[in-house]
Structure 1
Amino acid sequence: MSAVQLGGTAIDTSIHKIGLGLMTLTWGPDASDERSFGIIKTAIELTPPDQKLFLNSAEFYGEDRDVANLEMLSRFFAKFPELADRTFLSVKGTMSAAPEAIIRSVTKCLNALKGHKKIDLFQCCRVDPTIPVESAIKTLANLIKEGKFDHIGLSECSAGTLRRANAVHPITAVEIEISPFSYEDETRAVISASQELNVTVIAYSPLGHGFLTGKFNKEDLGARDIRRNLARFQDDAMAHNQKIVDILAAAADARSITAGQLCIAWVAALGSNIVPLPGTTKVDRLRENMKAIDLVLTFDDLSQLTEALAKIEVRGGRYFDRSGELLWG
Structure 2
Amino acid sequence: MSVTIVNRKVGPIGFGLMGLTWRANPTPYDEAVKVMKRTLELGVNFWIAGEFYGPPHANSLQLLEYYFTKYPEDSEKVVLSVKGGMGPNGHDGSPGGIRASVDNCLRLLNGKVFISVFEPARVDPNTPIETTIATLAEYVKAGKIGGTGVSECSAQTIRRSHAVYPIAAAEVELSLFLTDPCVAKTCAELGIPLVVYSPLSRGCLTGQLRTLDDLPVDDNRRNFLRFQPDMFDLNLKLVQQQKKGVSLPQTTISWVPAQSKAPGALHIVPIPGCITIARVEENLTPVSLDDEDLEKIAAVLKEIPVHRDRYGGALAKLMNL
Q: What is the TM-score when the length of structure 2 is the normalising length?
A: 0.90
Answering whether residue 173 of structure 2 is matched by residue 173 of structure 1, we say no
Answering whether residue 251 of structure 2 is matched by residue 259 of structure 1, we say no
> Across the two proteins, how many residue pairs are aligned to each other?
309
Residue 133 (structure 1) shift: 1.2
Per the alignment, in what secondary structure is the counterpart of residue 209 of structure 1? helix
Q: Which residue of 75, 97, 102 corresponds with 1:84?
A: 75
Number of the residue aligned with 1:59: 51
- Cα 1:173–1:122 shift into 2, 3 Å: same
Number of the residue aligned with 2:88: none
Q: What is the TM-score when the length of structure 1 is the normalising length?
A: 0.88
Preserved contact between residue 230 and residue 321 of structure 1 (Cα < 8 Å): no
Preserved contact between residue 94 and residue 127 of structure 2 (Cα < 8 Å): yes
Answering whether residue 223 of structure 2 is matched by residue 229 of structure 1, we say yes
Structure 1's unaligned 5+ residue stretches are none
Residue 60 (structure 1) shift: 0.5
Preserved contact between residue 154 and residue 174 of structure 1 (Cα < 8 Å): yes
Distance 1:158 1:66 in 2: 32
Number of the residue aligned with 2:209: 216
Letter in structure 1 aligned against 2:309: G
State percent identity of aligned pairs. 37
- Worse-superposed segment, 71-80 or 220-229: 220-229
Alignment of 1:142-221 (within 5 A): 142-184=138-180, 187=181, 189-216=182-209, 219=213, 221=215
Preserved contact between residue 28 and residue 222 of structure 1 (Cα < 8 Å): no
Per the alignment, in what secondary structure is the counterpart of residue 313 of structure 1? coil
Q: 1:51-74: per-residue Cα shift (whole Å, max 9, x none)?
A: x71100111001x44652110110
Q: Which residue of 283, 290, 293 corresponds with 1:289?
A: 283
Per the alignment, in what secondary structure is the counterpart of residue 162 of structure 2? helix
Letter in structure 1 aligned against 2:247: T
- Cα 1:310–1:201 shift into 2, 3 Å: same
Number of the residue aligned with 2:84: 93
Structure 2's unaligned 5+ residue stretches are 86-90, 261-265
Letter in structure 2 aligned against 1:213: T
- Worse-superposed segment, 309-318 or 91-100: 309-318
Preserved contact between residue 60 and residue 66 of structure 1 (Cα < 8 Å): no
Q: 1:285-323: per-residue Cα shift (whole Å, max 9, x none)?
A: 1111121x2x22233432331232133232232123787
Distance 1:196 1:160 in 2: 13
Preserved contact between residue 43 and residue 286 of structure 1 (Cα < 8 Å): yes
Letter in structure 1 aligned against 2:11: H
Q: Which residue of 99, 102, 109 corresponds with 1:106?
A: 102
